[in-house]
Structure 1
């Protein structure tokens, strides 16, 4: 009850902030003379963005970020699974699918190889010639990629105390994007990289002394939510914390080990290391863990009015009932809750009720939102995606090297 109450208070606080901050976006966009900002704000400063999107059917969550001078709004896919923020570049490009008026146009602001930021996207030495442009390439777990050049530009932000900062930050101008699979590429202008590496926006803002090195999000199961930078929105109580593990290669929010519980009972799935990745709509387990979970669910729903819906290609494993399901409320009573128990953290449990691992498709079937990562080339990597993180405030504290979560009201559209 205390956690739920705290979530309501947090939502009311953010509603107040949004009503004052986002109503004057035009004022920010029309600002004529932005100036660089350095350490002029308290480290307690924070700012927030409204989120749009959902797990299904859209498949991603986005925020609008103002960039440039004068600022222009770009919608970006929020991604804690990668560091670099990038926009579709107004240059000869491949994989650019959005209208030309939504492309970012560089104006003599390309980052050079000699710039320290370049080492965040290239191995040292970054380039053969120091005065060359700093190129980048980002590869994603779903085998998508972005290739381009680093640039720096104004990214104005409005703090919760009403003050406005206009830091100059580095990001990618991407001219060669690849989109795997048969699905159409996202219609967003780019990706907002929220990982904990050197090139991430949060790291750059922290290095300027503008915020604590903390971010968080609250993704509503009904769609929408909010994203925040800084530590102002961390609930005072009710947060479950677990350490961030040192990743061997890229800067991921990796945690674990964790054991899987099914209906409150131990399972054979133990010792999972997990990456929190808001850029992934669904959760991915390695083949062994995935098969064990599917067997548990399949055996548990025997005798219930559910049969496999093999004709529904929305996700690999779907079921249909005697009549089409209209919402998760129609079906969740047939499924058991899951829990991830983080064994090195006392009482650190990630509660996953059926509505946080199932979706109802446009065909009226219910599908499992936990997929086999080994089948798509993830090997033994396990990813906690958006579906598990719905209706929770999730905090990534890079200073204390820990991730926390608590149940919360995340906003989003009203129920019909």
Structure 2
């Protein structure tokens, strides 16, 4: 939907009022958009969502982490036309504003939430938000990452709302690391001791490096696809520029990784580390909140064109149009963000699959559904494609299912009309996360249309399903730890917020 923006200044009761009016352009023509890191049963162990299995079987791509935004079906990319009209002068008739709102109220749905110019600019009670540009793409990059200055040196890290511990590869005779020696973090007698409260809050390890202090705090975090990171906690200064122009340099605790294990897969990323954005005292967000730097809110906006932005703090959260669902009761003490129960819909109709617990994970690029939900999706898609000019391709690039046409597809738009929309309807919050074909299809490097939904490795109806980056593109997804809720709204994620 294209919206025209008017700013109207009127005088009423001897006071000037500034009003913003959004009018859809159509009004003028006619009136009539793994590696999920989850803690397993052992609180000290984090699990990342599946990456490809061993080469002996067709592996799924090593897609990074999760997060989903749920919103009514709306076009994924919006064209924004900002037209500022000149001042209307000192009109004494405030009815101008009322009349305009009456004319457009019926057709205004969806405009304001999509225009970054109207995001809430009210300063948070704990200062301004931190906004970080993102790099990467769902495919073929398989990650979204940020660059953060730690100790005067920039490190590129994958963003992960599915785990809590931040870590970077470290210059301590690192085994399995992907970085060149000059790009490793170099500790300088800044190890965190076992007596530190944040040590008790981190995933613990019994591993002890001989050359490290005996009382240092070791950690080990395991991920669902079998990989792991082992190291010691350190603390150092982070240089963080806030949206209001000021710079914070807090001393934060994170992991200095000296042993990386990719399990049976190849590393999913060559970035220097991982930015843990999950819930927990050792998380970067919680540490910033503890020094009253920001509110306990974070969000991301992943662009389908690549890039986007991450924000920490609450002053970028839109004031309306957000679909909110509460954290599930069973996940309040977990590091990941989960909502539910939810029902799976196909083309707006029930599939008979309900009671789904859904994890939003920015560290997983694709979606993972439990066995029941995955089987329902595959059955429905196959039925939809009967008689369509598409040929099934198995085992292509590790995707679960692909289809090819008479000629290679260049983008999802060329094939999306053959597929039906899916949705997750949340019982609490009365919100739906719409999964349009472009939210679950990937065009491979040979032009095949591939299903971006995988089956969770652990079988069972109680296994949580995971919404990854593919279904959170062109949506602002918000994790509000203060109100214990997850929200999403359509947005132009290619446009960075104004300072």
Instruction: Give the alignment's TM-score, normalised by structure 2.
Output: 0.73
Q: Which residue of 2 aligns with 1:76?
A: 157
Aligned length: 383
Q: Which residue of 1 aligns with 2:339?
A: 255
Q: Which residue of 2 aligns with 1:6?
A: 112
Q: Which residue of 2 aligns with 1:21?
A: none
Once the two structures are superposed, residues 248-283 of structure 1 have per-residue CA deviations (whole angstroms, 9 ceiling, x without a partner) of 874110110000110011112111001111101111
Contact 1:3–1:406 (CA<8 Å) still a contact in 2? Answer: no
Q: 1:301 aligns with which of 385, 408, 418?
A: 385
Distance 2:223 2:470 in 1: 19
Contact 1:44–1:231 (CA<8 Å) still a contact in 2? Answer: no
Contact 1:241–1:345 (CA<8 Å) still a contact in 2? Answer: yes
Distance 1:181 1:125 in 2: 23
Distance 1:249 1:318 in 2: 38
Contact 1:7–1:409 (CA<8 Å) still a contact in 2? Answer: no
Contact 1:112–1:131 (CA<8 Å) still a contact in 2? Answer: no
2:269 pairs with 1:186:
yes
Once the two structures are superposed, residues 180-236 of structure 1 have per-residue CA deviations (whole angstroms, 9 ceiling, x without a partner) of 344444110000000011111000000100000000000111111000000011111
Q: Which residue of 1 aligns with 2:429?
A: 345
2:267 pairs with 1:161:
no
Q: Which residue of 2 aligns with 1:120?
A: 201
Q: What secondary structure is seen at the aligned counterpart in 2 of 1:383? A: strand
Distance 1:201 1:3 in 2: 36
Q: What secondary structure is seen at the aligned counterpart in 2 of 1:374? A: coil
**TM-align CA RMSD:** 2.6
Distance 2:137 2:343 in 1: 27
Instruction: Give the alignment's TM-score, normalised by structure 1.
Output: 0.87
The unaligned stretches of length 5 or more in structure 1 are: 17-40
TM-superposed CA distance for 1:292, in Å, is 1.1
2:177 pairs with 1:96:
yes
| Structure whose CA Rg is larger | 2
Name the structure with the higher helix share.
Answer: 1
2:445 pairs with 1:362:
yes
Q: Which residue of 2 aligns with 1:195?
A: 278
The unaligned stretches of length 5 or more in structure 2 are: 2-107
Contact 2:207–2:218 (CA<8 Å) still a contact in 1? Answer: no
**Are residues 236 and 211 of structure 1, via their aligned partners in 2, closer, same or farther at CA, if it must alter by over 3 Å?**
same
**Are residues 344 and 250 of structure 1, via their aligned partners in 2, closer, same or farther at CA, if it must alter by over 3 Å?**
closer
Contact 2:297–2:314 (CA<8 Å) still a contact in 1? Answer: yes
Once the two structures are superposed, residues 319-369 of structure 1 have per-residue CA deviations (whole angstroms, 9 ceiling, x without a partner) of 1111110111110010011111001222x1111110010000001100000
Distance 1:279 1:225 in 2: 15
